[in-house]
Amino acid sequence: MRSRLGPVSWIALFLGISYFLIPLVATAIFSTETSRNGHDLSAYTAVLGDEGFRSSLSFSFKLAVATIVVSTVLMVPTAYWVHLKLPALRPLMDFTTILPLVVPPIVLVAGFGPTFGIDGPPILGGQGSWFYGEGIPGNVPPLLVGAYTVLAFPYVYRSLDSGLRAIDLKTLTEASQSLGAGWVTTLIRVIVPNLRPAILNGAFLTLAIVLGEFTIASILQYTPFSVYISSVGQSSGTQQSSLTVIAFLLTWGIMLALLRFTRGPGGGRRGAPTQGAR
Amino acid sequence: MAELVLSGLRKEFAGGVVALHDLDLTVGSGEFVSLLGPSGCGKTTALRIVAGFEHPSSGRVSVGGVDITGTPPNERDMGMVFQAYSLFPNLTARDNVGYGLRVRKQPARQRNQRAEELLDLVGLADAAGRYPHQLSGGMQQRVALARALAIEPKVLLLDEPLSALDAKVRLQLREEIRRIQQRLGITTIFVTHDQEEALSISDRIAVLYQGKIEQLGPPAEIYGAPATPFVAEFVGTMNRIEGVSDGSGGVLSDGGLLTLSSAVSHAAGRRLLVLVRPESVRLSAAQSVPVPGELVGEVASQVFLGAVTRVLTVVAGLEIRADVPSSVAATFPVGARVRVEVPREGTRVLDLDA
Ligand SMILES: Nc1ncnc2c1ncn2[C@@H]1O[C@H](COP(=O)(O)OP(=O)(O)O)[C@@H](O)[C@H]1O
Ligand SMILES: [Mg+2]
């Protein structure tokens, strides 16, 4: 059946697209403006040549990767276990996933201070400057990764939740066990491969959240990409706009790469959910 | 191979549902035993306890004389084929079959070779490289069987593996399962609610009802000599005629007097249940003058079943079904008066007052 769009739909579609595109196009145009009313790419060259650009961007990506690893390692087994053994807890999990969305980041940060102490977590002796990233490969602060894991939790869990609903978890688990596999083997060899699209989806959402997060990082005085963009804006509007455009393109580039990765040869179809016997 | 013994198995689920009542069953080494019963009678529960997925409330399970009641499922060496399609969607047929060997850390070459041998055994040598979604339901269950056999299990457990398949594939695959089972001589429990399936492939059948074994025996015995009214009803089609013993071989039923040698041993006044298969009931044209001691009824309907036609007769309000060769079915049109004979010898009688 072909659905034909009526005039109202066209107008709605046009308004929707404009809503997203106009600011973006305006930003892109503004980013090329010069003080003499001309257009060039000087803002881009200035930004790309800045040491702060590279360090903040790489810091953001390290944070994103660390957050993705931590949240995946935490959430995949948890979601699996809840679905398999504690289905009664699912409503509670659903409720819990809303908490990070309703508690404002500023409140989260206020909680981190007393909890972990300003000089590192008291339960770890109070001298935990490592908590802020010292002595950690890449200086990735566990404090920030922890905070971002909390922020990403709703998205990661929900993504896994729908992935788990799509496969016959109980039968696959029992088949694996009857063939001699323990929990860990089953998780790695059966569950994770069949959850790949859901895991990647969660990873992408996490990446987007971490790249865009500003409040917590700035209060804790870190300079990831978002904080860097904001600080550049205080001296140069065009440079800030060029950074926004770069960030936008980067995010889209990564998303497309991920989509290719999940759909690519041996990707999507192989991870197709089991057909039930019904 | 190994003998499997279930002793005093009882399973009570949270909420008070008692799925199994003190179940005792010994499956001999290399024997094929079916658990047959209606939905909800506890078949799956029994099988899952053997596999280790459920823990019995009381009772033991042992294999080859070793108690495995507390052994986790992944250490039991049991091959299991599930009702639902259970192949790992991310693995090819070959890798599915090789999974158990991979878990056992067999080198890839050996593993693949063994997997291909087993796929050959189930007739799927060509499909080794295909993914589950590229296989039909019947093929998936064959791969599942090969996968269960790959680990050379001590016991093979099948939970209604054919119920999701088309009638034709179902018939073919059940014969194949039996052939492979006999060839490998593997101790097997096969769960089904389909009496024909159980009758056709088992060494012995355990008929299960409400968590208890009603009767355990070879197919011919289950079919020919049902021990309880339930078994009689559940396995095959059975005419059930209630009556009262006259103490000398006569059973007075609603339809008239039946004379049966098996009724002689029942004292006068006992309530008896006469069980007779449609294929044992004889029909003939009724004499115009009724002969005392004969049952005479009227044909109410006919159902064509292929080689035979099932004729429903009503004898003084009592329904009796009889199978006649389809070639002579026209002799007994609907409405015709017929003489209905229940064989004097070999007809089973159960004492309802016992
Ligand atoms: N996990 C469970 N919790 C509670 N009751 C169950 C559970 N599994 C099965 N039962 C109950 O136990 C009885 C036997 O079930 P089952 O063994 O699945 O029967 P079958 O396989 O013969 O159809 C049924 O009444 C069923 O509702
Ligand atoms: Mg069942």
**For the ranges A30-39, A257-266, B186-195, B344-353, the one whose mean pLDDT is highest:** B186-195
Between strands B187-192 and B155-159, the pairing is: parallel
Residue B19 beta carbon below 6 angstroms from any ligand 1 atom: yes
pLDDT in tens, B85-129: 899 999 999 999 999 999 999 999 999 999 999 999 999 999 999
Same domain (yes/no): B213, B242: no
Q: Could you tell me the distance, in angstroms and rounded to a whole number, from the CA of residue B197 to the centre of ligand 2?
A: 15
Same structural domain, B125 and B255: no
pLDDT of residue A49: 83
CATH code assigned to A51-105+141-262: 1.10.3720.10
How many other β-carbons are positioned within 10 Å of the β-carbon of residue A104? 10
Percent pLDDT > 70 in chain A is 83
What CATH number does residue B327 fall under? 2.40.50.100
Of A178, A276, A277, the CB nearest to B51: A178
What is the distance between the alpha carbons of residues A155 and A146, in angstroms, rounded to a whole number?
15
In contact, B154 and B1? CB cutoff 8 Å: yes
Report the share of chain A in percent with pLDDT over 90: 29
Give the mean model confidence (pLDDT) for residues A45-58. 85
Distance, CA of A243 to CA of A252 (rounded, Å)? 14
Domain co-membership, B253 together with B133? no
The verdict on B171 and B300 lying in the same domain is no
pLDDT of B315 > 60? The answer is yes
pLDDT at A138: 63
Q: Is the pLDDT of residue B258 over 90?
A: no
Looking at residue A115, its pLDDT comes to 62
Q: What confidence score (pLDDT) does residue A19 get?
A: 92
Please check whether residue A66 is in contact with residue A141, taking contact to mean a CB–CB distance below 8 angstroms.
Answer: no
Please provide the average confidence, as pLDDT, over all residues in chain A.
81
Q: Which two tokens stand for residue A148?
A: 């971002």
CA distance B144 to A175: 9
Task: Calculate mean pLDDT across residues B316-326.
Answer: 91
- Residue B194 and residue B253 share a domain: no
Higher pLDDT among residues A141 and B291, named by residue? A141
Residue A169: pLDDT band (50, 70, 90) is very high
Beta bridge partners of B242: B273
Q: Which residue has the tokens 């005479």?
A: B296
- B233, B265, B293: which is the final residue of a domain? B233
> Domain ranges in chain A?
51-105+141-262
Angle, vertex CA A137, rays to CA A131 and CA A143, nearest 5: 25
Residue A76's nearest CA partner among A173, A196, A166, A208 is: A196
Q: Is the pLDDT of residue A274 over 50?
A: no
Position B129: which residue type?
G
Where do we find the tokens 């101790």?
Answer: B187
A272 or B136: which leads in pLDDT: B136
Say if the ipTM goes beyond 0.85.
no
pLDDT at A190: 94
Q: How far apart are CA A137 and CA A140, in angstroms?
A: 7
Same domain, B42 and B133: yes
Q: Are residues B160 and B284 both part of a single domain?
A: no
B191 C-alpha to center of ligand 1: Å?
14
Amino acid type, B267: A
Residues of chain A with a CB closer than 8 angstroms to some CB in chain B: 167-168, 171-172, 174-182, 185, 189-190, 193-194, 196, 269-278
3-state SS of chain A: helix, strand, coil percent to 5? 75, 0, 25
* Chosen domain end from B233, B265, B283: B233
How far apart (Å, rounded) are the C-alpha atoms in residues B184 and B188? 11
Phi, psi angle pair for B153, to nearest 5°: -70, 155
Q: Report the C-alpha gap between B105 and A35 in whole angstroms.
A: 69
B240 — pLDDT class (breaks 50, 70, 90): confident
Contacts with B104 from chain A: Cβ below 8 Å: 180
pLDDT of residue B156: 95
Handedness of CA A164, A166, A172, A174 (dihedral sign): positive
> Cα–chain-centroid distance for residue B67?
27
Give residue B193's pLDDT: 94
Sequence-separated (6 or more) residues with CB below 8 Å from residue B43:
B35, B36, B37, B159, B191, B192, B193, B208
Is residue B295 within 8 Å of B256, Cβ to Cβ?
yes
- Alpha-carbon gap, residue B45 to B137, rounded angstroms: 24
* pLDDT category of residue A276 using cuts at 50, 70 and 90: very low
C-beta neighbour count of A8 within 10 angstroms? 8
The letter for the amino acid at B172 is Q
Which of B6, B12, B17, B41 gets mutated to test ligand 1 (max ligand atoms within 8 A of its CB)? B17
List the residue whose alpha carbon is closest to atom 7 of ligand 1. Answer: B13
Dihedral (CA of B236, B241, B242, B247) sign: negative
Number of domains in chain B: 2
Q: Are residues B217 and B97 in the same domain?
A: yes
| Domain harbouring B90, CATH code | 3.40.50.300
- Domain of B8, in residue numbers: 4-233
Q: Does pLDDT of B142 surpass 80?
A: yes
pLDDT over 80 at A270, yes or no: no
Chain A residue closest in CA terms to B85: A277
Residue B286 tokens read as 């009724």
- Rounded Cα distance, B213 and B204, in Å: 13
Sheet (strand B66-67) strand order: B18-27, B4-12, B58-63, B66-67
Q: Is any ligand 1 atom within 6 A of the Cβ of residue B40?
A: yes
Nearest CA to ligand 1 atom 16: B42
A11 Cβ contact partners less than 8 Å away, ≥ 6 residues apart: none
Q: Would the CB atoms of B100 and A180 count as touching at under 8 Å? A: yes
Rounded to 5°, angle at Cα B131 from B129 and B135: 100
Q: If you average pLDDT over every residue of chain B, what do you get?
A: 91
Do B227 and B241 reside in the same domain of the chain? no
Label the pairing between strands B212-217 and B204-209. Answer: antiparallel
Mean pLDDT value across residues A113-117: 59
Cβ of B42 closer than 6 Å to ligand 1, yes or no, is: yes
Q: Are residues B225 and B100 in the same domain?
A: yes
- Hey, what amino acid is at A18? S
pLDDT of residue B155: 95
Q: Cβ B90–A270 below 8 Å, yes or no?
A: yes
Is the pLDDT at B199 greater than 50? The verdict is: yes
Task: Please tell me the least confidently modeled range out of A225-234, B18-27, B100-109.
Answer: A225-234
> Of B176, B206, B233, which one is at a domain's C-terminal end?
B233
**Global confidence as pTM:** 0.81
Under an 8 A CB cutoff, do A175 and B82 touch?
yes
Cβ neighbour number for residue B50 with a 10 Å cutoff: 25
- Neighbouring CB atoms inside 10 A of B81's CB total 26
Non-local (6+) Cβ contacts of B35 within 8 A are B43, B46, B47, B189, B190, B191, B192, B206, B208
Does one domain contain both B24 and B144? yes
Q: Which helix (H) or strand (E) holds B60?
A: strand B58-63
pLDDT: is A105 or A77 the higher one?
A77
Please, are residues A79 and A73 in contact by the beta-carbon 8 Å criterion? Answer: no
